[in-house]
Amino acid sequence: MEFTAKQATGPVVVAPALVTRMPFSARYDLDRTTGVISRNDHELRGESIAGRVLVTRGVQGGVAAGWALLALAARKCGFAGMVFGDTNPVMVQGAVAAGIPVFAGIDPEFFDVVRTGDTVELDPAARLVRIVPAA
Amino acid sequence: MKLTDDERAMIGGEAGPVLQKALTYQLRLAEFFGADHFVPVTNAHFTGDFEVMDSGGLAYVEELAAAGAKVRVPTTRNSTCVDPAAAGQLKQRCTLVDGELRVGPMLRRMGVLTVNTCIGYQTVYTPRLGEHVAWGDTGTVAYANSVLGARTNYEAGPASLFAGITGRTAAYGFHLDEHRRANVVCRVDAPMTDLADWGVLGLLVGKRFRGYWNVPVFEFTRAEPTPDALKHLAASIASYGSMAMFHVAGVTPEADDAVGGREVLERIVLSKKDIEDVYAEQGKDDQVVDLVVFTAPQQSLLEVQQIADLLDGRRVHPDVDVILTTNSMVAKAAAEEGLTNVLSRSGAMLLVGTCWYLMDPAEMRESFGWKRLVTNSAKLANIIRAHGYEPVLRRTAECIDAAVSGKVR
């Protein structure tokens, strides 16, 4: 299944999805030394983000992602990519610095279909996100 | 994308590798957000300290510095993760202190003013109505757009540094008139008796209308905000709602006809009960307190004076620690006014050049056994859960009462 996005930049990536209903913040949600979700009341508390594509409708806070995405990548425990319904410039600024793809304005139906663990292919140049069928 | 001759020279490398890297990065953002030109900026505000930059970010900026990067417009720096004078007392790890000792001097060599403050608009530089700037730190951005009528997006990570280096930023978002119109109308029928109430308002509206592109206009029937009140509102609405702008009818410079034809998502009325309900949700009474913190944003001189007045002649409970943060300009004035002595005598600690949540509070929790934290900052209450704390949000005098009694009452 393919879904279009209004905005995208970065390299092509194929990786497993990590889906959350909670708006994302690098500072509020993560242990940024390990890439593990650490927020007390987060539905994915304890999950590692390493090598996974974050899928969430929105963001909250802070400028931390501007550096954190790069810092996580340098520690080899960062996201493979990010897909948002709506985002702010911080996530884009951080993703560009980290060299990972970032999407915004994805077709809302995507959130109804995608599940944690699904393999997703991100093609920013085409502004396409594809859920790769399980083998 | 319309580029000037200077910008073409930068992209083409004729102006050197630093400007090429900087503008190429900015061009990626411009394309993402559909900007068709760059706009000159007069000022940049850089957010970056070792706690958030880590070794990866440090290496990134070191590479720029080694290549001879210099800012071409005045560029200030946000709060950092360390107050060197208190690092030992707070048991901050050496890597954090050492990292900061590398970041600060490196930024100064690039021409950045390391004033280390998130309230530079109160103490360093106050842009005028319509002035284009490139500021990091979400609260400063919300304040600049809303209260001053300056124009900036969130400029995070290397983005604001690159804006300082190139002297420009992509013309999208809050640099453009159409994004500055209100699409939420919020009447507030509550007395707003404390700075914390303004943070609570930011929480309520930020959570309900979360989204960078949403802009509320507030109409107050029973309150008039001070600049410090607007500071708490800006910090909180940015924290909970990722919002970058609001208007206050009769107060902020672009509030006349704030909606200006934009489609309104919703019109709401918030009451005193709505405000009080948030306090009830944000921590229970009759609990033992470990720590009371006044930060996020740094305290103005008037806030420091208020807290010193509340603590004057009283003593912080032996099982409680009290921390305030501010910048070096306010700290100097506070010392001259005798406020620092009042705080010290009572047992409170005034930290300089930092904002407490940047100082690796999870590590401090482990070092000192802190768990329950009382604050008048709605923003801090939002952030600190990620670091294993139980925040209790209260009005300023109640925070001081908790500090002295050892309990939330």
How far apart are alpha carbons A66 and A68 in whole angstroms? Answer: 6
Q: Are residues B233 and B312 in the same domain?
A: no
In the block, tokens 């709605």 appear at: B378
pLDDT of residue B214: 97
On whether any CB of chain B is under 8 Å from the CB of A85, the answer is no
In this prediction, residue B388 has a pLDDT band, given cuts at 50, 70 and 90, of confident
Query: Does residue B396 surpass a pLDDT of 80?
Result: yes
Instruction: Look at residue A128 and give its three-state secondary structure.
Output: strand
Measured between CA atoms, the residue of chain B closest to residue A89 is B154
Residues B54, A41: C-beta atoms closer than 8 Å:
no
Nearest by CB: B385 against A9, A40, A67: A40
- Cis omega (within 30 of 0) for bond into A133: no
Q: Are residues B154 and B213 in the same domain?
A: no
Nearest by CB: B29 against A71, A96, A104: A96
Domain containing B212: what range? 179-279
Amino acid identity of residue B134, one-letter, is A
**Chain A residues within 8 A of B158 when measuring between CB atoms:** 66-67, 93, 97
**Tens digits of residue pLDDT in B94-127:** 999 999 999 999 999 999 999 999 999 999 999 9
In this prediction, residue A61 has a pLDDT band, given cuts at 50, 70 and 90, of low
Q: Are residues B224 and B292 in the same domain?
A: no
Query: Does residue A38 surpass a pLDDT of 90?
Result: no
In this prediction, residue A63 has a pLDDT band, given cuts at 50, 70 and 90, of confident
How far apart are alpha carbons B35 and B196 in whole angstroms? Answer: 37
Nearest CA to B38 out of B168, B147, B125 is that of B168
Name B341's Cβ contacts closer than 8 Å, sequence gap at least 6.
B335
On whether any CB of chain B is under 8 Å from the CB of A86, the answer is yes
Q: Are residues B41 and B145 in the same domain?
A: yes
How far apart are alpha carbons B181 and B154 in whole angstroms? Answer: 17
Query: Does residue A28 surpass a pLDDT of 90?
Result: no
Q: Are residues B200 and B323 in the same domain?
A: no
Q: Are residues B52 and B160 in the same domain?
A: yes
Which domain CATH number covers B273? 3.40.1060
**Chain A residues within 8 A of B211 when measuring between CB atoms:** 58, 86
Q: Taking the domains of chain A in order of start, what are their residue ranges?
A: 2-132
Measured between CA atoms, the residue of chain B closest to residue A57 is B211
On whether any CB of chain A is under 8 Å from the CB of B153, the answer is yes
Sign for the CA dihedral angle at B359, B360, B365, B371 comes to: positive
Nearest by CB: A88 against B158, B212, B388: B212
Residues B156, A63: C-beta atoms closer than 8 Å:
yes
Q: Which of residues 165-204 of B touch A (CB under 8 A)?
A: 173
> What is the rounded average pLDDT of the residues B366-376?
97
pLDDT of residue B285: 84
Nearest by CB: A60 against B156, B173, B210: B210
Nearest by CB: B56 against A28, A74, A93: A74
> What is the rounded average pLDDT of the residues A30-45?
90
Q: What is the mean pLDDT of chain A?
A: 94
pLDDT of residue B227: 98
Q: Are residues B318 and B372 in the same domain?
A: yes
DSSP string, B12-69: HTTT-HHHHHHHHHHHHHHHHHT--BEEE-S-EEE---HHHHHHHHHHHHHHHHHTT-
pLDDT of residue B378: 98
Measured between CA atoms, the residue of chain B closest to residue A76 is B56
> What is the rounded average pLDDT of the residues B50-55?
93
In this prediction, residue B75 has a pLDDT band, given cuts at 50, 70 and 90, of very high
Q: What is the largest CA-CA distance in chain B?
A: 66
Q: Are residues B273 and B391 in the same domain?
A: no
How far apart are alpha carbons B382 and B236 in whole angstroms? Answer: 9
User: How many domains does the structure of chain B reveal?
Assistant: 3
pLDDT of residue B173: 98
Nearest CA to B381 out of B390, B89, B178 is that of B390
Instruction: Look at residue B187 and give its three-state secondary structure.
Output: strand
Residues A58, B60: C-beta atoms closer than 8 Å:
no
Amino acid identity of residue A115, one-letter, is R
Which domain CATH number covers B325? 3.30.499.10
Q: Are residues B201 and B113 in the same domain?
A: no
**Tens digits of residue pLDDT in B295-329:** 999 999 999 999 999 999 999 999 999 999 999 99
> In terms of DSSP H, where are the helices of chain A?
26-29, 65-74, 89-98, 109-113
**Chain B residues within 8 A of A90 when measuring between CB atoms:** 138, 154, 156-157
Residues B328 and B116: beta-carbon distance below 8 Å: yes
Q: Are residues B27 and B142 in the same domain?
A: yes
On whether any CB of chain A is under 8 Å from the CB of B212, the answer is yes
**Chain B residues within 8 A of A67 when measuring between CB atoms:** 48, 52-54, 57, 156-158
Least Cα separation, residue A114 to chain B (angstroms): 22
Give the pair of three-digit tokens for residue A52. 């996974």
pLDDT of residue A27: 83
Model ipTM value: 0.93
Least Cα separation, residue B408 to chain A (angstroms): 22
On whether any CB of chain A is under 8 Å from the CB of B33, the answer is yes
Residues B158, A97: C-beta atoms closer than 8 Å:
yes
**Chain B residues within 8 A of A102 when measuring between CB atoms:** 32
Query: Does residue B385 surpass a pLDDT of 90?
Result: no
Instruction: Look at residue B6 and give its three-state secondary structure.
Output: helix
Q: Are residues B187 and B328 in the same domain?
A: no
Q: Which of residues 15-74 of A touch B (CB under 8 A)?
A: 23, 25, 27-33, 38-41, 58-74
Amino acid identity of residue A35, one-letter, is G
Nearest CA to B160 out of B215, B122, B120 is that of B120
Q: Give the predicted TM-score (pTM) of the model.
A: 0.95
Q: Using the 3D structure, point to which of B279, B297, B331 is the last residue of a domain.
A: B279
Nearest CA to B240 out of A62, A82, A27 is that of A62
CATH of A2-132, one of 1.10.3720.10, 1.10.640.10, 3.50.30.10, 1.20.1250.20: 3.50.30.10
For an interface test with A, the pick among B31, B78, B145, B212 (most A C-beta atoms closer than 10 Å) comes out as B212
**Tens digits of residue pLDDT in B153-191:** 999 999 999 999 999 999 999 999 999 999 999 999 999
In this prediction, residue A52 has a pLDDT band, given cuts at 50, 70 and 90, of very high
How far apart are alpha carbons A81 and A96 in whole angstroms? Answer: 11
Which one has a higher pLDDT value, B52 or B226? B226
**Chain B residues within 8 A of A82 when measuring between CB atoms:** none
Q: Are residues B161 and B286 in the same domain?
A: no
Query: Does residue B61 surpass a pLDDT of 80?
Result: yes
Q: Using the 3D structure, point to which of B237, B259, B279 is the last residue of a domain.
A: B279
For an interface test with A, the pick among B52, B140, B172 (most A C-beta atoms closer than 10 Å) comes out as B52
**Chain B residues within 8 A of A41 when measuring between CB atoms:** 385
Q: What is the mean pLDDT of chain B?
A: 97
**Chain B residues within 8 A of A96 when measuring between CB atoms:** 25, 28-29, 32
**Chain B residues within 8 A of A25 when measuring between CB atoms:** 386
Residues A58, B382: C-beta atoms closer than 8 Å:
no
Query: Does residue B84 surpass a pLDDT of 80?
Result: yes
**Tens digits of residue pLDDT in A42-51:** 999 999 999 9
